[in-house]
Amino acid sequence: MSPVLTLLEALKKAERYLADHAIASPRLEAQLLFSHVLGLSRVALFTQYDRPLSGAEIRELREKLQTKAKGVPTAYILGYREFYGRRFRVTPDVLIPRPETEELVAHILNRLQHARHIADAGAGSGVLGITLALELKAARLSLIDISGAALSVARENAQSFLRETGCAYYQADFCRADFSLPEKADLFVSNPPYVEPAEYATTPSLHFEPRCALVAEDFAAEHKALIQTAFRLLAPGGLFALETHPQKSHEAKSWLEQAGFSQVRVEKDLAGRPHFILAVRG
């Protein structure tokens, strides 16, 4: 009979295995996978070090650790990511929500107490639009994405969180001048693709995520088109909130001003980079 492996022994082995495969934060990553597979909180893991693991648990842990060792983001292995205090479903069809985007939510909530109709262009998993719809008690949310696969993830998230908000889904290119919504929005948000093709090519950790969610093949043309769409689909006085490339936000600000937006403000993220733009449709 093979000796029983305890939780503590298995965790130590897992940490070493991930470290040997040059995975960043191997202890934390091991804990996250163990707590998911064993159905325990991370803290509960520490109180059950002597717990023996079953054969089935060991098999599932091994499989997930092997995937992690290839560099696959943990959010894809677990199938979820926390965003603004809620657990959202994510799959390799969508961008993994970033903590900076939670900061954009905070900037918007500093400006608004309520929004009736929110539009989220390039919604991906839907985290931005759904979080804002909940926080601002919106009656209506329009989720727009070019990817049908992303929209089905967004739909799953919207259905699990939104009770009071009517949600509509549009599979469309928000850059196109003929894209339209049946009703004007009073808040238009977007975290569009803004990574440069060359930046993407030299950042292998991004390659697990959909290229179309990350890369702006022509930053200026796509951003100008997005700004036109936002202006067209916002009601007068409505707020446009954008996450964009920190090295290009000042350029983007001038495009917003040229398009007729007023009170155009660039906001910094916690790392001090100018990462967000908020503007009012005149």
195 binds ligand GLN (CB under 6 A): yes
129 touches ligand GLN (CB under 6 A)? no
Nearest residue (CB) to ligand GLN, 193 versus 274: 193
Q: Which of 49-57, 135-143, 151-159, 193-201 is the region at the interface with ligand GLN (rule: CB under 6 A)?
A: 193-201
**Binding segment (CB under 6 A) for ligand GLN, from list 55-63, 148-156, 185-193, 233-241:** 185-193
| One-character DSSP codes across 22-74 | T-SSHHHHHHHHHHHHHT--HHHHHH-TTPBPPHHHHHHHHHHHHHHHTT--H
Q: Which of residues 86-105 bind ligand GLN (CB under 6 A)?
A: 98
Q: Is 34 in the site for ligand GLN (CB under 6 A)?
A: no
Smallest separation, CB 220 to ligand GLN (Å): 15
185 Cβ partners below 8 Å, 6+ apart? 117, 118, 119, 142, 233, 234, 235, 238
Query: Which residues are within 8 A (CB) of 13 and not within 5 positions of it... i.e. 6 or more apart?
Result: none
Q: Is 131 in the site for ligand GLN (CB under 6 A)?
A: no
Question: Counting Cβ atoms within 10 Å, is residue 2 exposed (0-12), middle (13-18) or buried (19+)?
Answer: exposed
Paired tokens of 24:
């960043």
- Determine if 74 is a binding residue for ligand GLN (CB under 6 A): no
Please say which residue, 14 or 214, places its beta carbon nearer to ligand GLN: 214
Check binding of 194 to ligand GLN (CB under 6 A). yes
Distance of CA 153 to the CA centre of its chain: 12
Query: DSSP of 179-234, one letter per residue?
Result: ---SS-EEEEEE----B-HHHHHT-GGGGGS-HHHHB-TTHHHHHHHHHHHHHHHE
| Closer CB to ligand GLN, 11 or 277, in the complex | 277
Is the CB of 16 or the CB of 273 nearer to ligand GLN?
273
Question: In the bound complex, what is the minimum distance in angstroms from residue 206's beta carbon to ligand GLN?
Answer: 6
- Of positions 38, 94, 214, 233, contacts ligand GLN by CB under 6 A: 214
Q: Which residues bind ligand GLN (CB under 6 A)?
A: 98, 191-195, 206, 214
